[in-house]
Amino acid sequence: MLMSAGSIIQLWAAEGTALYNFSGIISDKVIALSLGAVSNVIIGYIYKENIIRANREIHHDADCPFHSIVLNK
C-alpha cells in the first residue's frame, strides 16, 4: 500500500518538493516491508488470546508458548 501510494504521489508531485521526497521515502521497499512486519507483530500482540485459542483448537497443545506460535517453531 505504501509503495503504491508513494509511486502515485511521485507521479503527481513536482520533483524536488518535500512531498516528492517524502513519497520517495515511504515507497522504499525496505521501509514499506519493515513497517508491514512491525504492524503484523503489533496486531499479533493485540490479538494474542485469539491466536493462542486457534492454536489450541488446531494442534490440541495447551502448553505451547506464544513466541513459538508466532515464530512457527
pTM exceeds cut of 0.75? no
Residue 32 predicted with pLDDT over 80 = yes
Q: How many domains does the chain have?
A: 1
Binned at pLDDT 50, 70 and 90, residue 19 comes out as: very high
- Contacts (Cβ under 8 Å, ≥6 apart) of 10: 20, 23, 24, 27
Domain residues for the domain of 64 are 2-70
Residue 46 predicted with pLDDT over 90 = yes
